[in-house]
Structure 1
């Protein structure tokens, strides 16, 4: 085996170990609540954390469900908010384009604490604080630059003449969107949506500040266990936290393949 063929395998092995090792530690910690330094391996094992998860399954499911719901709502809102600006930035040339684009990307560059403290006062005045809609709105404002940047790249990746050709052949606006624009833009939508979903789903500070503890969230439910002494329960909830996005991304991947197969593009 040559050195060129070894490098990809070594890189793949590195990434597997890089991501799998922390997960393996979580799995072991789940069954070893007393595992502490300097023990290399746990001295005793227990299924207490699994029983605790089962006992509190309703609260866990409720917090997890609300987190998934506001994360999906945020993803949809950022998509709708970014479509037209992204198309305009990708297709049009105008003075101050780069400056305006930089201003629109500012929320992703400003620290969450700096960004949220000022806007929290506005949300209180507008009666949006401590509401589900307020959480979705603040997460949308904070994370839409990720979707915007992905959609701009998506529109730039294909020539607008595809749409013009379909129009000249008699395709209506809906047909052009359905059979031309959407399939070509779908990878960018998935890329931007994945980042937005992860940002919203994993956020603690913005959800806690704007939600005020009234809007349930899985990060809010998980945080006390991470900072507490119950490492086994923290590991169990962290694994649940890890599994949900992975399952959703697998569903998205399978749905994309099915869509492209049915469209004759795969």
Structure 2
């Protein structure tokens, strides 16, 4: 009986968090142009409209390119950093780890302002590479966390055995360390891609007028021409994000043979 209030509170929190998402999905099948519930009838018309909208498709391509480039960079830097932090002991090790984790602590608004200052100093005035830099910053902590956990988790005696048998450090890394760490690297890259693809605040503040990603496009369309096709495309983005997170879970559970 004592657990009932706690269970009710937990259920209320989950309903509060997920009911708006469920309603977006439901409204995407609503035949009415207006978001009325219950729906008078159901249709896939808005999905077809969203797919045929060239502005949305262009924003999708932009988001995909930015997320792909930033996740590759974040994965490369994060993997090298994770190897250094887990394999070497140096005086500023803890400080270095904390520095790479600061994007998780700092509000995105502060990071965006910092990027704006850097952009102004370099006379870049926003644009593609400033957005990529911001997304790399917010993706790095996820890559480092996942890859570091993978590196700490496997038996380092395998590396020692390989070097005892005559393998060089590079060969040991390529044949032993990298395959064992690969699930973590893939998982960290998927997380970085997801974070970049869904990011709005940093992109909105530093992108300028030439870079329009999916979150920015949806935001601008809500302000100018609210249409149920936004529900449809938001549902597509939601499904894509869930698929990426499922892929991440599968990647980190994979044990190379």
Task: Give the count of matched residue pairs.
Answer: 242
What root-mean-square deviation, in Å, do the aligned CA atoms of Structure 1 and Structure 2 show? 3.2
Pair 46,224 (structure 1): closer, same or farther in 2 beyond 3 Å: farther
For structure 1, list consecutive stretches of 5 or more residues without a partner in the other structure.
Answer: 1-13
Work out which of the residue numbers 126, 132, 138 in structure 2 matches 1:130: 126
Q: Which TM-score applies when normalising by structure 1?
A: 0.76
When residues 45 and 77 of structure 1 are mapped into structure 2, their CA distance, relative to the original with a 3 A threshold, is same
Give the counterpart of 2:152 among 133, 149, 156: 156
Report deviation, 1:64.
0.8
Secondary structure at the aligned position of 1:105 is classed as helix
Counterpart Cα distance in 1 of 2:251 and 2:226: 38
Q: Distance in 2 between matches of 1:137 and 1:143?
A: 10
Are 1:87 and 2:83 counterparts?
A: yes
Shift, 1:250, TM fit = 6.9
What residue in structure 2 maps to residue 71 of structure 1?
A: 67
The corresponding residue for 2:4 is none
What does residue 11 of structure 1 align with? none
Q: How does 1:1-266 map to 2 (within 5 A)?
A: 25-32=23-30, 33-36=33-36, 39=37, 41-45=38-42, 48-56=45-53, 58-226=54-222, 230=226, 232-246=228-242, 265=257
**Counterpart in the other structure of 2:7:** none
User: Unaligned 5+ residue runs, structure 2?
Assistant: 1-10
Cα distance in 2 for partners of 1:96, 1:87 equals 15
Structure 1 residues 253 and 153: CA distance shift in structure 2, 3 A: closer
The alpha carbon displacement at 1:126 in A equals 1.4
Distance 1:149 1:27, change over 3 A: closer
Query: Per the alignment, do residues 157 and 256 of structure 1 end up closer, same or farther by CA in structure 2, a change over 3 Å counting?
Result: closer
- Conserved 8 A contact 2:116-2:126: no
Q: Using the alignment, how far apart are the partners of 1:151 and 1:187 within structure 2?
A: 8
Query: Is the contact between residue 163 and residue 180 of structure 1 (CA under 8 Å) also seen in structure 2?
Result: yes
Matches of 1:162 and 1:75, distance apart in 2: 29
- Per the TM alignment, residue 80 of structure 1 is displaced from its structure 2 partner at its CA by 1.7
Q: Quick check: 1:74–1:136 contact (8 Å CA) kept in 2? A: yes
Give the conservation status (yes or no) of the 8 Å contact 2:79–2:144: yes
CA deviation after TM superposition for structure 1 residue 229, in Å: 6.9
- Contact 2:62 2:212 survives alignment (8 Å): yes
How many Å apart are 1:248 and its aligned residue?
Answer: 5.3
Tell me, in whole angstroms, the C-alpha distance in 2 between the residues paired with 1:255 and 1:154. 11
Give how far 1:51 is off: 4.5
User: Within 2, Cα distance between the matches of 1:125 and 1:227?
Assistant: 32
